[in-house]
Chain A
Amino acid sequence: MNLTFALNGRTASVDVEAGETLLRTLRDRLSLTGAKEGCVEGECGACTVLLDGQPVDSCLLPSMSVARRSVTTVEGLGSVDTLHPVQAAMVDSGGVQCGFCTPGFIMVLVALLRENPDPTELEIRQAVSGNICRCTGYAQIVDAVIEKARGAM
C-alpha cells in the first residue's frame, strides 16, 4: 500500500504493508532511527513522534493512519548547526545520559511547551509520565525545561 504523508515538513511517499506500524516505517523504510523501539507496548515512550503536533507512540500506530497528516520526528527539529531550544536545553542541563530515551522526551517536551510555554515543575513531570528514563532519575530533564527551555520557544 502506498502511504503519503507530511514528514518533517516534506512530503513522504512510501510503500508499507498492512498493519505496519509507523515506527517500522520510519526506521526500516525511511532510515529515520531517532525514534527508538524500547518495548512495542506503548509503555516506554522512546518511539514518541508528533502527529499533527501531538505526541504519539509510533510503535502502536498503524502507518496508514497517518495518511495525509503531519508527522514530526526528532530529526525534524533544529539543524546540525543549530539545535532546537529543547535539544539545546537537554545538552546544557545534563538531561542526556545513555540517550536512548532522549528523542522521545524531547518530542513530548516540544509539544508541551507549544501548548504551555510556562509549565510548572509538576506539569512537566506529568507531561513526561509516559516516558521512561532509566538513567537520569528525571531531575536534569526537568531542569532542562525549568532553567533553559521555558520561554525560549
Chain B
Amino acid sequence: MNASIGAAIPRGDARPKVRGTARYAVDVELAGMGHARLLRSPVAAGRIVRLDLEAARRAPGVRAVAAASDMPSRLHGLVLRDQPAFASEVVRYEGEPIAAVVADTLAEAETAVGLIELEIEEWEPVVDLDYAISEQARLVHPDWESYQMLIEGGFPRGGNVVAELAADPDGVDAAFASAYRVVEDAFGADRQYQAYLEPKGALASYEDGRYTIHVSHQFPFAIRDRLAQVLDVGLGRIRVIGHHIGGGFGAKLDLGLEPYVAVLARLSGRPVKLVNHRTEDLITCPSRENALIRIRTAVSQKGEFLARELHCLLDSGAYAIDAPFLVSLPLLLANGAYRVGPTRVSARAVYTNTAPTGAFRGVSGTYLNFAVERHVDHIANELGLDRNELRRLNLLDDGDRLPNGQTLDDARSLHEAFDMLDDISTTKEVGSGGWRGVGTAATVWLTNPLPGSAILKLNEDGTLGVITAATENGSGAVAMGLRQIAAAQVDVLPDQVIISMPDTDSAPYDAGSQGSRTTHIVGRALVEAGEELRRQILSKAAQILEAAPEDLELSNGTVRVVGAPSSAIPLATVALKATADGASITATGSYATASPRYDPTCASGFLFPTFPTPTYHVHRAEVEVDPLLGTVTVLRYVVVQEVGKAINPQGVAGQIQGGVAQGLGYALWEGLQIGSDGRYRQRTFEAYRLPLAVDVPRVEIVLLENGHDEGPFGARGVAEPPVVPVAAAIANAVADAIGAPINRIPITPADILDAIETVNRHATA
C-alpha cells in the first residue's frame, strides 16, 4: 500500500489555521456590504398583534427591512413543509425570526431593530412532551393537515405528533407472558447544544437574478437546494461558496441565516452579512433533542433477551426539520449491539413551543444507547449476573440481524473488540476507593451512504487538483483523508495535492460532512477518478516515451518504462503535453452506498431504514464519585473501534478523543433545560458548561482494522460514532460507583446525591 495511507501526515489546512489567516464566514468581507440583524420573538408562543416596520425603515443607515411579506408565502421544510422563514401570524418558539434589517453599520442595524414595533399576545407554551400529545394540549400547528410532505407516500403524523414510527412484530406478548423475568426502565435526556466555536453566519450578494451565498457550512448543496425552496427560485439561481468551518457537529447541515441575507441582499441591492450573537445562536440552534424512553425486556434465567418493547418520545420543537427521519433510530437501535427476540417499538416526534431540534453528531443514538446499555446493567443486577458476561452472551455476531431485518456480515468485530477491551481493562475492582465504578457500552453505527463526487485534474506542473464540494468541518476528512487518498491513488506526495474550497457552481454534487461519510464516500469517488486519471497519464506518457502503456509504471510523481530508470519523465511533462494536445488530463468519480437489504414491512413511518457500512464500538469508563459533592472524575476511558482502515491514525485518534469529550459533556455537564415559559435556562457559555482541558482524560484508543471491501483502501466511517456510547458507559460507571441507578442525563451532582441518599435510606430502613 502507498506510503500516504496509514501515515500520520499533518493536515493540509493546518498552517493557515495556526497562523490565524484561515478565513471563516465570520471573517469574510464583501466590498460595500451592509450589516444585518434579526428581530426574533422574545416569547415562546403567541399571536402577533402588531408589527410596524416604518420607524426601522426610516432609521439612519438602514438599507432594507424584510419580513414575511417579502418572502414567498409557501412554507418550507426538509421533509415536511411546516416552517415559515419569518413568523407572521403566530410565533412558535423563543428566538423565531420575525423581521430582518440591514444597515451600513452593525450598530445602526441594532438600533433599527430596536425601533420595530412588535406586540405579541402571549400564549401558554406547549413544553412538556407527555402533555403535548394529550387530548387537552393546544396544537402548535392547527393547520398541520394542510402541510405538504416531501416523502413519496407520506408518513404517519397528526396533531402535535410530527411523525410516528411503529413496529409490532409477532411474538412479543407471548415471550413476555412466558419469560423468567421482565425488567423495566424509564430514561430521560436533556437537549445538547453543538456549541461549535464559530457562531452561525452568512453573507449574500444578488446580481443578475442570482444569489451568491458565502457560508461556513457542512453541506453547501443543501443550502442551494433549501434556499431555492425558501425563495421559490430555480437551483441555478443560487451559488454557494464554502469557507473554513469553525465547527458544526451537525448544526450546520440545514439552512441557518442564509434566507435572511439573501432577501436583504435582493431588497438592498448590496451585499449583506449577518452573524449570530452567542446567546441567539444557542437558543435557536437545532440542538440534539430531549427525549423520554421506556424500555422493558423479557429475559430467560440464563440472561437471554427474549423480547423487548421500547417507546420513545422525542422533542422536535416548533418545526419538523429532520424529525421524521429521526423516529427511525429507536427501531434501529432498540437492541443496541445485542441479539434480542421480537421487538416492539414506537417512536413519536412531538411539536412543542421550543426551538426546533436537529442533527448533532450521533443524533438520537446517544440517548438510545444510554437507555439500552443502562437497561443491560439493570438486567444483570436483577439476575445476579456479571454485566460483562451478560453482554458477551447476547452480543451480535456474523449473520445476526438488526431489528429492520438487515443482516450484519461482520459483527464478529464486536467480539474482537470485547476481547481487546478485556485484555487491557477490567469490569471488576477498580482501585482502592469505595466510590469508584466501571461501566461498559457497545454500539453498532453506520457510515452515511449519500452520494458524493470529485474531479481530479493533473495540473501542468504535475500537481494534482481535487475539485470537490466535500467540506472540511475540522474532522480532517478532507485535509487528511481525501488528500492522502488522492495522493496514494495517483501516487504523488500529499503536498502535491491541491484541494478546492466548496463552490456549487464549479464542483460536482456532494452530500456534506455528515454521518462520517466524507472519507468513505468521497474517498471512494477519488479512487475511481484516480484510476481513470492514471489511465490517461499512462496513455499520454506512452506516446511521449514511445512505449506501450502496459510497460509503464507511475510512482512518486514520475512515469517510467519498467526496468529502464533512465526513461523517467515527471508528471509535469505528461500534463503539459496532454494540455498542448487539447486533451488535458481530468477525471471524475462518483459514489453512493447501495442500500443494504432490509424488511420494509417491519415498521410504519420508517423513512431512515438501514445502517449502511456498519462500524462497531466498545467503550469502557472508570470513574470516581465524590459522595459529598456529587461530582464525577473520569479516571480512565478506553475505546475499541472498528475503522476499516485508518487513513491517518493521528486524525482518527483526534476524532475519537474529541467525540468522547463531547460525550462526557453530554453525560455530566451539558444540558439545555427548558422552563415552563418555553425558554432555555442556560443561555451563555457560562451557564452551559462545556468540557475543559482539566475535565477530559486522555482516551486510550485501540483500533480494529478489518478493511471494508467498498471503502477507499478499506476505510469505513470514523468520526461520528465515538460520541455515541459515552453517556451510557459513564452512567453505568457512576451507577456502579454509588450502587444506585442513574436514569437521566446529564448526570448532575444533585441527581447523584439524591441517588446516594435513597440507597442510604433503604440500607437503614
Contacts and interface: CB of A to CB of B under 8 A. Distances in A.
A135 B699 contact: no
A97 B18 contact: no
A138 B244 CA distance: 20
A125 interface: yes
A98 B245 contact: yes
A39 B281 CA distance: 10
A125 to B, nearest CB: 4
B19 A74 contact: yes
Contacts of B26: 36-37
B197 A101 contact: yes
A137 B699 contact: yes
Contacts, number: 172
Q: Which one of A73, A99, A132 has the highest number of Cβ atoms from chain B below 10 Å of its Cβ?
A: A99
A35 interface: yes
B621 to A, nearest CB: 14
Given A36-B198, A83-B19, A139-B698, A92 B658 contact: no
Nearest to B249: A134
Nearest to A77: B19
A43 B658 contact: no
A78 B19 contact: yes
Q: Which one of A39, A41, A128, A129 has the highest number of Cβ atoms from chain B below 10 Å of its Cβ?
A: A39
Interface string A77-90: 11010010001101
A41 B683 CA distance: 11
A140 B655 CA distance: 11
A73 to B, nearest CB: 7
A129 B474 CA distance: 21
Q: Which one of A77, A138, A142 has the highest number of Cβ atoms from chain B below 10 Å of its Cβ?
A: A138
B22 interface: yes
B23 A33 contact: yes
A40 B17 contact: no
A114 B247 CA distance: 30
B19 A97 contact: no
B654 A140 contact: yes
- Tell me what chain B mostly uses at the interface: helix, strand, loop, or mixed: loop
A134 B245 contact: no
A106 interface: yes
User: Chain B interface: which size bin?
Assistant: 35 or more
B494 to A, nearest CB: 14
A134 B651 CA distance: 15
A41 B684 contact: yes
Contact of A140 (B194, B249, B650): B650
B653 to A, nearest CB: 7
A35 B686 contact: no
B675 interface: no
B197 A91 contact: no
B511 interface: no
B657 interface: yes
A37 B201 CA distance: 12
B18 A100 contact: no
Given A35-B20, A44-B685, A94-B650, A100 B247 contact: yes
B685 A136 contact: no
Contact of A98 (B10, B197, B657, B691): B197
Nearest to B17: A99
Contact of A138 (B8, B16, B661): B661
A50 interface: no
Q: Which one of B197, B277, B657 has the highest number of Cβ atoms from chain A below 10 Å of its Cβ?
A: B197
A44 B197 contact: yes
B278 interface: yes
A94 B474 CA distance: 11
Contacts of B21: 34, 75
B474 A98 contact: yes
Contacts of A131: 693
Interface in B677-722: 684-686, 690-694, 696, 698-699
A22 interface: no
Nearest to B28: A33
B247 A103 contact: no
Interface string B711-751: 00000000000000000000000000000000000000000
Contacts of B8: 94
B198 A38 contact: yes
A34 B10 contact: no
B150 to A, nearest CB: 31
Given A38-B278, A94-B651, A99-B22, A137 B658 contact: yes
B24 A100 contact: yes
A141 interface: yes
A11 interface: no
Nearest to B480: A94
A2 B247 CA distance: 36
A73 B15 CA distance: 16
A56 interface: no
Contact of B278 (A41, A77, A94): A41
A94 to B, nearest CB: 4
A97 B685 contact: no
A78 B244 CA distance: 22
A33 B692 CA distance: 24
Given A100-B246, A100-B247, A137-B658, A34 B653 contact: no
Q: Which one of A94, A98, A137 has the highest number of Cβ atoms from chain B below 10 Å of its Cβ?
A: A137
B11 interface: yes
B654 A97 contact: yes
Interface in A116-153: 122, 124-126, 128-129, 131-142
A98 B247 contact: yes
B544 interface: no
Given A34-B21, A98-B247, A98-B473, A137 B657 contact: yes
B475 interface: yes
B18 A135 contact: no
B295 interface: no
A88 B10 CA distance: 10
Contacts of B474: 97-99, 135
A37 to B, nearest CB: 7
Contacts of A134: 194-197, 247, 249, 658, 662, 690
A136 B654 contact: yes
B655 to A, nearest CB: 9
B687 to A, nearest CB: 10
Interface in B491-527: none
A102 interface: yes
B197 A38 contact: yes
A136 B691 CA distance: 11
B199 interface: yes
Contacts of A33: 20, 23, 27
Interface string B320-334: 000000000000000
B185 interface: no
Contacts of A122: 694
B661 A90 contact: no
A129 B197 contact: no
Interface in A23-57: 27, 32-41, 43-44, 46
Given A92-B10, A98-B245, A135 B658 contact: yes
B197 A96 contact: no
B234 to A, nearest CB: 33
A103 B20 contact: yes
A72 to B, nearest CB: 12
B660 interface: yes
9 contacts: A38-B198, A38-B278, A43-B686, A77-B19, A83-B18, A92-B10, A96-B11, A100-B196, A100-B198
Given A34-B20, A98-B196, A140-B650, 5 more contacts: A41-B686, A91-B11, A99-B13, A129-B694, A134-B249
Which 9 pairs across A and B sit closest by C-beta, in order of nearness?
A: A34-B20, A98-B474, A99-B17, A100-B246, A137-B661, A43-B685, A74-B20, A137-B657, A97-B474
Interface of A: 27, 32-41, 43-44, 46, 73-75, 77-78, 80, 83, 87-88, 90-94, 96-103, 106, 122, 124-126, 128-129, 131-142
Interface of B: 8, 10-11, 13-24, 26-27, 194-199, 244-247, 249, 277-278, 473-476, 650-651, 653-654, 657-662, 684-686, 690-694, 696, 698-699
